């Protein structure tokens, strides 16, 4: 049972690894599935209700068309969110999220639905059974603005910190979307530049602390550099300890 108590208006860092550190995203469809779950489950609607919006019954599932996505996007945009997703990155074997709780039990209900949906999808697709994740999601309360700022750099630069590619080029994180939002709008208008199907919201916390996309990008690059230097130092110290 979790000791952490979730409070509305507070920020949290959420992450977890797949069992045995195995990849949990094996192709582009897997990334899209998890991304769509982050969007679709960030409200109090149920699966049957979303199918009804598309005119689909539970027993007659069909392949979705572009018009379906537009209709679903408009419907979801009208729903009250239970959390704001400030930043995310989907690494091959683990996701990171920075979220702000908006509704009572918002985080616990949201993450329960996302984890169950993706685990069911993954096990069915790859003909496996059992747990996909290493236990329950790890959730840490972000108890200071300094910690929140550092995590914004860490999560958006995570793929580069792990040496898996350039953060600015990685399609499965919030980094490029935030930079694009900055380049389109300023300060209080930042969130308005996001499309209906974006999983991001509540970006005013970012726009209130960074003047523009260049300032935010410089900060993320700084966190990447410091994190990689710290990882290298820990690896070197571990080598000497083993020796």
pLDDT at 197: 56
CB atoms within 10 A of CB 73: 15
Q: What are phi and psi of 31, to 5 degrees?
A: -60, -45
pTM score, two decimals? 0.85
pLDDT at 125: 95
Contact 23, 121 (CB under 8 A): no
**Environment class of 239 (CB within 10 Å of its CB; exposed 0-12, middle 13-18, buried 19+):** exposed
DSSP string, 171-185: TTBSHHHHHHHHHH-
Place of tokens 């704001």: 84
Residue with the bigger pLDDT between 27 and 5: it is: 27
DSSP string, 17-63: -BGGG--S--SHHHHHHHHHHHHHTSSS--HHHHHHHTT--TT----
pLDDT in tens, 89-127: 999 999 999 999 999 999 999 999 999 999 999 999 999
Contact 90, 35 (CB under 8 A): yes
Judged by average pLDDT, the poorest of 6-20, 33-47, 54-68, 135-149 is: 54-68
pLDDT at 243: 41
pLDDT at 240: 45
Model confidence band, residue 8 (pLDDT cutoffs 50, 70, 90): very high
Give me 108's structure tokens.
Answer: 């616990």
Q: All domains of the chain, ordered by start, with CATH?
A: 11-44+80-242 (3.30.70.1290)
Q: Are strands 94-101 and 11-15 parallel, antiparallel or unpaired?
A: antiparallel
Model confidence band, residue 136 (pLDDT cutoffs 50, 70, 90): confident
Place of tokens 């949290």: 12
Q: Residue 97's closest CA among 179, 158, 46? A: 158
Contact 182, 212 (CB under 8 A): yes
Give me 185's structure tokens.
Answer: 């709008």
Strands, E assignment, the chain: 11-15, 83-91, 94-101, 138-142
Model confidence band, residue 66 (pLDDT cutoffs 50, 70, 90): confident
Torsion of CA 229, 232, 236, 242, to 10 degrees: 140
pLDDT in tens, 141-184: 999 999 999 999 999 999 999 999 999 999 999 999 999 888 76
* pLDDT at residue 63 greater than cutoff 80: no
- Report the run of H or E that residue 230 belongs to, with start and end: helix 213-242
As a whole number, mean pLDDT of residues 26-40 equals 93
pLDDT in tens, 208-231: 899 889 999 999 999 999 998 887
Model confidence band, residue 1 (pLDDT cutoffs 50, 70, 90): very low
């Amino acid at each position: 049972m979790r000791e952490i108590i979730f409070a509305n208006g507070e920020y949290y860092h959420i992450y977890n690894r797949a069992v045995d550190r195995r990849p949990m995203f094996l192709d582009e469809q897997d990334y899209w599935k998890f991304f769509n779950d982050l969007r679709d489950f960030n409200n109090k609607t149920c699966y049957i209700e979303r199918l009804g919006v598309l005119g689909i019954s539970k027993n007659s599932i069909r392949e979705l068309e572009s018009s379906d996505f537009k209709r679903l996007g408009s419907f979801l945009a009208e729903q009250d969110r239970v959390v704001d997703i400030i930043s995310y990155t989907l690494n091959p074997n683990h996701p990171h999220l920075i979220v702000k709780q908006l509704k009572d039990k918002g985080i616990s209900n949201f993450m329960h639905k996302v984890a169950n949906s993706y685990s069911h999808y993954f096990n069915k697709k790859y003909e496996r059974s059992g747990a996909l994740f290493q236990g329950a999601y790890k959730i840490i309360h972000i108890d200071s603005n300094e910690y929140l700022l550092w995590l914004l750099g860490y999560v958006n630069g995570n793929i580069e910190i792990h040496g898996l590619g350039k953060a600015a080029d990685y399609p499965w994180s919030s980094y490029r979307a935030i930079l694009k939002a900055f380049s389109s709008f300023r300060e209080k208008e930042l969130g308005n530049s996001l499309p209906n199907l974006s999983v991001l919201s509540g970006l005013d916390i970012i726009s209130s602390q960074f003047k523009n996309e260049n300032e935010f990008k410089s900060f993320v690059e700084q966190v990447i550099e410091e994190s990689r230097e710290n990882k290298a130092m820990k690896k070197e110290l571990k080598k000497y300890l083993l020796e």
